[in-house]
Amino acid sequence: MTELMHDHLPIHLTNLAKRYGNIYRLKCGNTTMIVLNSSDIIREALVKKWSDFAGRAVSYTADIVSGGGRNISLGDYTEEWKALRRLVHGALQRCCKHSLHNVIERQALQLRKVLVDYRGGAVDLSEDFTVAASNVIITLVFGKEYDKSSSELQQLHRCLNEIVALWGSTWISALDTFPLLRKFPNPVFSRLLREVSRRDEIIRKHLNQFKSEGHRRTDVITGSLLEGVDRHQTEPGVVLTDMHVHMATVDLLIGGSETTAAWLNWTVAFLLHRPEFQTKVYEELCTVLEGRYPKYSDRQRLPILCSLIHEVLRLRPVAPLAVPHKAIRDSSIAGYFIPRNTIIIPNLFGAHHDPEVWSDPYSFKPERFLEGGGGSTRALIPFGGGARLCLGETVAKMELFLFTAYLLRDFCFVLPDSEAPLPDLRGVASVVLKIKSFTVIARPRTGP
């Protein structure tokens, strides 16, 4: 248990790999955990042998957060889960094909306006990044968007932020490993229960409002999901309910806002450490695009920008330990026997800092992904893999590309003054790896 109580667990588990190798076992009460620390071993488990390791541990706290396992991220690998994933995947694909590019472009231009309005003042951009990312997923899910001052949006952010932060707490995971602790007062768990209740109230209100409008907009994810649930209720086999739609919506909102916003903060922070790389990206955008804003289809023509995105994804995968998997049958990884019900922790952070794969792995060097740089995108696994591959991978990749391109085309990010310290790059690790808050000046470019 003590091995899991470190304040930055991804770094600690990566350091243990230096001592014990890229696959090792932790015993925690009656639970056996296997930590995987290289991309090859993680791919073997999650992709090559996905059907052996597609499960999720059923736990006391996970059931509370996931409405009894009725969501994608924490639900166990059952026929019900597979039906829900197919439904959500289909709804996401339809809506993304219909409007994703335009939705992201609109939010990127809105973000540009917000930054211009700061008039060169030193600000913490984390909230602005969260609003921009949230509005992308909220527009896709509910067909509406908010501005920064919206109390409804702020309430939803606070609530989801708290749940993500509390969920990563040792005080919470201890309740799963040592059931006896559930009989004692636990202020952290009490806070989690309050936030889950508040979250459900907000989502329920949105869903009821959507249903009361009477027409089903299938170009919006919620409408597509509700229609799919109605269809499932008339078919034999698995029954999906409005609760599945509720929990799938929670998954999409958390996955589509906290992660993208965290990544944009990391990008600005790393660029403050190497400001000359901002100039390289800016010059590439000006030269290749001749002054216009980029489209996602331009990405093959912008290798410097893409190398920046790959390097930040490598150094700071926003879900550094993914979500633990479970062996649903006896199997093996890297030649070791893995019994059924073993918990598998894919340490994406460790795989992305593996010195056998990456030269100078802890340094920010986007040029490693340029021709002749020695870096391979195949060794990157920021979205996991196999049956549990992040549902929002398509949305995330387009967001990261377009937001980064728009920001670096129109702004140069600089420290508030020459004496100001550079952002601390260690980060705060929970389910999502976030940077400690810092201030920056977004200085408008004079024009391409």
Is residue 262 within 8 A of residue 432, CB to CB? The reply is yes
Which amino acid makes up residue 97? Answer: K
Q: Let me know how long the chain is.
A: 448
Instruction: Provide the 10 A C-beta neighbour count for residue 446.
Output: 6
- Which one, of 273, 236, 251, 207, lies nearest residue 83 by Cα? 236
Is 28 marked as binding a ligand?
A: no
**Quick one: tokens of 421?**
């310290």
Is residue 132 within 8 A of residue 106, CB to CB? The reply is no
Is residue 219 within 8 A of residue 226, CB to CB? The reply is no
What Rg value do the Cα atoms of the chain yield, rounded?
Answer: 22
H-run or E-run covering 420: none
Q: How far apart are CA 172 and CA 167, in angstroms?
A: 6
Q: Is the dihedral of CA 296, 297, 303, 304 positive or negative?
A: negative
- Which one, of 292, 297, 274, 273, lies nearest residue 406 by Cα? 292
Q: How far apart are CA 171 and CA 32, in angstroms?
A: 19
The torsion angles phi and psi of 326, rounded to 5 degrees, stand at -135, 140
Instruction: Provide the 10 A C-beta neighbour count for residue 282.
Output: 19
Question: Binding site: what residues are annotated?
Answer: 390
Binding-site residues for heme = 390
